[in-house]
Structure 1
């Protein structure tokens, strides 16, 4: 593994507060590094990411972007460079690599589709989620409650996202962090695949808002439910519904909202007329 340095650095600042003197402070900040991702030596994109768990990031990106299956991956190499980090994914010569979605600029940490050139490449067909795993609402509460204590970089910097995998009972497995929400989810996907954990038996929980790319990445690894702390977009709900994915958002201590396929949670909507 290349020596690419720590995930955070301490920076000095001047803190201003009303009715208080200006104070010098030191604050931990997450590193945001250019990660050059290539396939078989051919450059594909540059991701702005926190420089840890880069093998997992590369594996997850390859699968969730529908570039190749996990079985097609032979090796991932990581090399430190003056400008950032170079990560190369080597694919089996016999693999039927899917057409790479062309990009013309770097993928920023806040963006999942930076540089995509064509509308047809932005919103692509999704595989159907076939897992019949069911869950109880209490499992979501448990996963959300545990997630806060599993984010050391987030607690240190207050500037990162996390993506975790919860088993059917809501107990948390791996949790990965990054400055980018898409990167955190790709790292989680890669960690699950490398560990041989079947995503179909649990659900993904993320600290970010739920955009359609987060739905797509969850569906492509065959996970039946995505839980987001924040709100979803309209397209995220559409994509989740069409893919057969249960989408839960606004997951807080006092409850959550199910936007698609509530049957996995055993929920039935109360008739509005009767409620009134």
Structure 2
């Protein structure tokens, strides 16, 4: 991770002491030269973000369809130029759309309410995870959040073993972006996502449930509250959802 690219040193008016501020930039994703999406994100782990976002959105059926990612700097932001297989390009042309993203909210790529059911992921593995394992993961997570330590305000997504060991984590200003970066990294490293669980340093939203389930995770744990739609979606797709995982508390909702 390039910390320098994600941090900007500024001196606020009051108090007049230099602070580190998280960099937020527009990231345009193009596929074989065709614009597909624009997201606001932190400019780190961009190859992981491209792969994870592409898999979550259904652009890519599997990681092998992504042949290359090139990060290009523009005056107004960054472009992630994805090169994909011909079969993947044909699918995208049939369903082409442009998506405007926002930090931490929105249903990425959804054009109508009728499409919600179409996003329900495949059947997920049943996991046995003790609350103590979830609490261990939360205790370990800060060590994997260098950006948040430096400036605050950053979300983290982590993949953990069933006993609560944090193995891999990614950060971003947007919680959904952090999860896309994590799932992209897991796919790139060929990690069996179903062998552990996903931990988020945020509330549990509908989209986090969908992204975690689409990646193959059987359990999503969040440090803050769940939404009603997150609980409903987790029930529908068989995802085990825990929230308020902090201190000595861990509440299971599905």
Q: Is the 8 A contact 2:50 2:184 kept in 1?
A: yes
Aligned to 1:83: 76
Q: Is the 8 A contact 2:57 2:109 kept in 1?
A: no
The Cα shift of 1:74 comes to 1.5
Aligned to 1:172: 166
Aligned residue runs from structure 1 range 141-156, under 5 A: 141-156=135-150
Q: Is the 8 A contact 1:177 1:184 kept in 2?
A: yes
Distance 1:4 1:170 in 2: 26
Distance 1:42 1:5, change over 3 A: farther
Q: Structure 1 unaligned segments of length 5 or more: list them.
A: 16-22, 261-276
Q: For 1:23-72, what per-residue CA distance to the aligned partner results, in whole angstroms no more than 9, with x for missing partners?
A: 41211100001101011111011111000100000100011112222232
Distance 1:123 1:154 in 2: 35
Q: Structure 2 unaligned segments of length 5 or more: list them.
A: none
Aligned to 2:180: 186
Distance 2:11 2:219 in 1: 41
Structure (1/2) with the larger helix percentage:
2
Aligned residue runs from structure 1 range 39-58, under 5 A: 39-58=31-50
Aligned to 1:13: 12
Provide the secondary structure at the position in 2 that maps to 1:127: coil
Of 236, 250, 253, 1:256 maps to 250
Distance 1:100 1:107, change over 3 A: farther
Distance 2:108 2:226 in 1: 20
Aligned to 1:268: none
* Between 87-96 and 54-63, the greater mean CA deviation after superposition: 87-96
Aligned residue runs from structure 1 range 57-206, under 5 A: 57-69=49-61, 70-95=63-88, 97=91, 100=95, 102-103=97-98, 106-113=100-107, 116-121=110-115, 124-206=118-200
Q: Is the 8 A contact 2:29 2:35 kept in 1?
A: yes
The Cα shift of 1:130 comes to 2.8
| Number of residue pairs aligned between Structure 1 and Structure 2 | 250
Q: Is the 8 A contact 2:24 2:40 kept in 1?
A: yes
Provide the secondary structure at the position in 1 that maps to 2:147: helix
The Cα shift of 1:4 comes to 11
Distance 1:62 1:112 in 2: 16
The Cα shift of 1:120 comes to 2.4
Q: Is the 8 A contact 2:159 2:166 kept in 1?
A: yes
Distance 1:203 1:101 in 2: 32
Distance 1:100 1:32, change over 3 A: farther
The CA RMSD over aligned residues, in Å, is 2.0
Provide the secondary structure at the position in 1 that maps to 2:180: helix
Q: Is the 8 A contact 2:54 2:60 kept in 1?
A: yes
Distance 1:228 1:73, change over 3 A: same
